[in-house]
Amino acid sequence: MSRSISTADTPSLRKDRGAFFTPPAIADYLADWAVEGDPKATVLDPTCGEAIFLESAARRLADLGATTTQLKEQVLGVDLHRASVDASTAILRDQGLDGSLKVGDFFSESTPDRLDAQLPLVDAVIGNPPFVRYQKHVGLERKRAQAAALAQGVRISGLASSWAALVVHACGFLKPDGRLAMVLPTELLHTGYAEPIRSWLKRRFKAVHLVTFERLQFPDATEKVVLVLARGSGGCNAFSLVPVEDASDLPNIRMFGPMHLNVAPPDQGKWTDLLLPVEQRQIYDRVVAKSFVDLGNYGAPTLGTVTGANDYFCINEETRTEFGIDERDLARICPPGTKHLRGSTFSRSDWALLRENGAAVWLLQPRHSDPEWLKRPENAGLASYLDRGLASKVNEAYKCRVRAVWFKPPAAPTPDLFFTYMSHRYPRLITNSAKAGFLNSMHGVSLNAGVPKEARLALPILMMNAVSMLGAEIHGRSYGGGILKMEPREAASLPVPSPPQLSAAWNVLKSERAKLERHLREGLWTGVAKRVDDALLCDVCDIPARDVRLLHEANLELRRTRMGARST
């Protein structure tokens, strides 16, 4: 009998509930690994859908000698969609197989340690959880999923897609020495919301194997997938990584064989580098080790000033003039946001132009907070502005309420460089030639003593190379809308040219600085990046042009992956 699901179950309906039918080659591979030659193995698919995994597992168990009666007890499945469960039950029986499939919400199923449990502990959990993004994974269903994961010790973010909590809850049904064999989206490796899942995998299992694919494996989905095969309990420090071209390569895999790489994912942060093909990862690692250092070697990225109410504390020239606030009671700042930072430097003329155009270029920083001082006639404008803040209850905002003087935000030290920690394309460094203050819409970098004096001007341009851009994708995190975000700790780990390479490359490029700056401000950044790659990577670091091209392609691929994860 050919596999068929009700014609009423349209592609759009399957997409709405996150159901993408798994290629048989993947199902067979995972089922074979999950059963592991044990004719008595019990297998659970918590969202069995069309039951392709349970069919593969039942067939494997039957080949090992399990009878139809035994399969009824050994092959277990749950799914919300009654039509799929009915059709799949019929498919199993038509092939002389059997199993116990039930209709229901798996998150409502109590784990076997509960008195009301209806499902037993099993030897293997297998499947392809529905991939429902957080916008549709809402209400009571989301709360139930989060509670189920929390019961297993994992707190799931409100931005998590449905698969995250399901994998954790499903392992509550797994025996201590049991096996997990699942198809998961590559969001597991690179999104911020999946970090608790990554940490949990390292804590929960004795051994974890990841199989990644070069090509898309689901014709009706745009998301790449990773196969997660985990077993035992007690935790592990390293994973076994197996990159393959497509599902046809799976039969050739042997765990711990020559196709494997041992990788030690970090305790925190992304595992994005695991998405890179082996050759590109090796090139990146080799170049970074030889010619690059962490940005933190030049200076630690720090948070900007937190005002608690930017709309009030950040003032434009019109407001300053209206109230007659003395410039001595204000500090010059780079306005909130980073869209105005188009070049490699932020100059005094840039600041003056923004002031003329009505941008909020002043930060309220009164010289004194003494009430008697504020009563002086020359301070009447400032006092009036503070009264406006009181009337608007700005002083009751949390950050204002907890500081000694509500109307004077503690200004962060003026940095040498700005760092645009949230970006769509790539993070950038900008020389702070204006000596302006900054807010928490960006980071600041104050250069350490002893770094090359040219670093202040050179880093913003030389950072625009394929290695640093790829490093940003690896170390940064994907957030809503595909935005790349780098917190100070992650920014500090960004690879940038080491001092000797920086000085050598800057000797070549400094005469072109004006032209490169003009191109950046005109949005022609790809040409600038190409010139930097030629001067820094090819000429100074002596990297073959082919390797530079592969690094560039890897950067574009990871960026496409991030931008494709629009809601993570």
What is the spatial distance between Cα 397 and Cα 308, in angstroms, rounded to a whole number? 6
- Please tell me the distance from the alpha carbon of residue 523 to that of residue 520, in angstroms, as a whole number: 5
DSSP letters spanning 105-170: -GGGSPPTTSTT--S--EEEEEE------TTTS-HHHHHHHHHHHHHTT-PPPTT--HHHHHHHHH
Cα(350)–Cα(216) distance, rounded to whole angstroms? 46
Amino acid at 411: A
**383 burial via Cβ count (<10 Å: 0-12, 13-18, 19+):** middle
Span(s) in the chain for CATH 3.40.50.150: 17-275
**Strand ranges across the sheet with 422-423:** 422-423, 483-485, 477-479
Is CATH 3.40.50.150 the right assignment for the domain spanning 17-275?
yes
Task: Please report the pLDDT score of residue 332 as a whole number.
Answer: 98
**Residues 443 and 421 sit within 8 Å (Cβ to Cβ):** yes
pLDDT of residue 23: 85
d(CA 436, CA 359): 14
User: What is the CB-side half-sphere exposure of residue 433 using CA atoms within 13 A?
Assistant: 15
User: What is the 8-class DSSP label of residue 108?
Assistant: G
What pLDDT is attached to residue 476?
85
Determine contact, residues 44/170, Cβ cutoff 8 Å.
yes
Predicted pLDDT of residue 9: 47
Bridge pairing between strands 239-244 and 207-213: parallel
Q: How far apart are CA 423 and CA 415, in angstroms?
A: 20
pLDDT score for 492: 95
The sheet carrying 443-445 orders its strands as 301-303, 443-445, 417-419, 429-431
Q: Which run of H or E residues covers position 322?
A: helix 317-323
Q: What is the pLDDT of residue 472?
A: 93
DSSP labels, 495-509: EEE-HHHHHHHHHHH
What letter represents residue 419's amino acid? F
Name residue 122's beta-bridge partners: 174
End-to-end CA distance of the chain: 40
Secondary structure class of 275 (helix, strand, coil): helix
Alpha-carbon distance 434 to 187, whole Å?
40
**Do 291 and 397 meet the contact criterion of CB atoms below 8 Å apart?**
no
Distances (CA, A) of 440 to 150, 259, 418, 472, 503: 32, 45, 11, 19, 31
Residue pair 139/162 in contact by the 8 Å Cβ criterion? no
Q: Residue 64: its pLDDT value, please? A: 96
Walking along the chain (568 residues) 10 residues at a time, the average pLDDT comes out as 45 46 87 94 92 94 95 94 89 93 93 94 93 52 86 84 90 96 87 85 90 68 79 85 78 57 63 76 93 97 96 97 96 94 96 97 95 93 96 95 94 97 90 97 96 96 97 81 85 96 97 96 94 97 97 89 54
Distance (Å, whole) CA 504 – CA 93 = 72
| CA-CA-CA-CA torsion sign (250, 255, 257, 258) | positive
Q: Which helix (H) or strand (E) holds 54?
A: helix 52-63
What is the rounded CA–CA span in Å between residue 419 and residue 554? 23
Query: How far apart (Å, rounded) are the C-alpha atoms in residues 35 and 42?
Result: 8
User: What residue type is 410 in one-letter code?
Assistant: P
State the Cα–Cα distance between residues 26 and 442, nearest whole angstrom: 44
